């Protein structure tokens, strides 16, 4: 990086992405490196579990392959963030969707699945850095998705819009491919 320090929000986006993707492709029980990593892991996993049919259906409709996974993720993420206001639910949904892709390809392409964490971190850091900073930084995720509060309550509005955006994105991408 030529001696220029990376923005801490971008650095954390990458660290969170590497950790979360590693938890999805590894058979080991990994200890989260921070409270925010634990919150993101818990929340994204709960989102995937509670809405597994939605994510599986979307995944199948998109016909994602190892060769198209990066492009497909970027297209879905771009579409999801294009016309809708960003919220923490959307941020978690990006990590969850990327985790679902990496999990699917962990046996076919383990190296590619792990490098997906780098891609995810760069995408979130590059596209959402300003929003994350304006909304209190990554620590805010711990307050929005408190451990003592069911995720469904927090996701109530954000998830409805996120799900709609993902369905729309999947539909558009299906028409393109």
* pLDDT tens-digit series, residues 96-139: 989 988 888 887 777 777 788 889 999 999 999 999 999 999 99
Provide the 3-class DSSP secondary structure of residue 149.
coil
* pTM metric for this prediction: 0.84
Q: At residue 173, does pLDDT exceed 90?
A: no
Higher per-residue confidence, 165 vs 135:
135
Supply the pLDDT for residue 128: 96
Closest C-alpha to 89, from 153, 33, 173, 31: 153
Give the contacts of 92 (CB within 8 A, at least 6 positions apart).
40, 43, 44, 47, 141, 145
Domain of 13: which CATH number?
1.10.437.10
Supply the pLDDT for residue 157: 46
Q: Is residue 3 assigned to a domain?
A: no
Considering the chain, what percentage of its residues have pLDDT values greater than 70?
81
CA pair distance 86, 109, nearest whole angstrom: 31
Domain around 79: 8-176
**How many domains does the chain fold into?**
1
Task: Report whether 95 contacts 24 (CB < 8 A).
Answer: no
Q: Is residue 103 assigned to a domain?
A: yes
Q: At residue 38, does pLDDT exceed 90?
A: yes
């Amino acid at each position: 990086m030529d001696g220029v320090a990376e923005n801490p929000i971008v650095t954390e986006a990458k660290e969170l992405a590497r950790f979360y993707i590693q938890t999805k492709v590894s058979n080991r029980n990994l200890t989260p490196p921070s409270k925010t990593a634990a919150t993101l892991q818990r929340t994204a996993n709960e989102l995937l579990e509670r809405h597994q049919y939605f994510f599986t259906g979307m995944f199948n409709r998109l016909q994602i392959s190892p060769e198209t996974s990066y492009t497909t993720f970027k297209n879905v993420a771009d579409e999801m963030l294009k016309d809708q206001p960003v919220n923490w639910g959307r941020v978690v949904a990006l990590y969850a969707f990327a985790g679902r892709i990496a999990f699917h390809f962990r046996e076919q392409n383990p190296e590619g699945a792990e490098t997906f964490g780098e891609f995810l971190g760069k995408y979130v850091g590059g596209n959402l850095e300003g929003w994350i900073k304006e909304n209190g930084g990554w620590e805010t995720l711990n307050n929005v998705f408190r451990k003592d509060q069911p995720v469904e309550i927090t996701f109530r509005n954000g998830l409805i819009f996120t799900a709609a955006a993902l369905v729309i994105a999947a539909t558009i991408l299906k028409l393109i491919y």
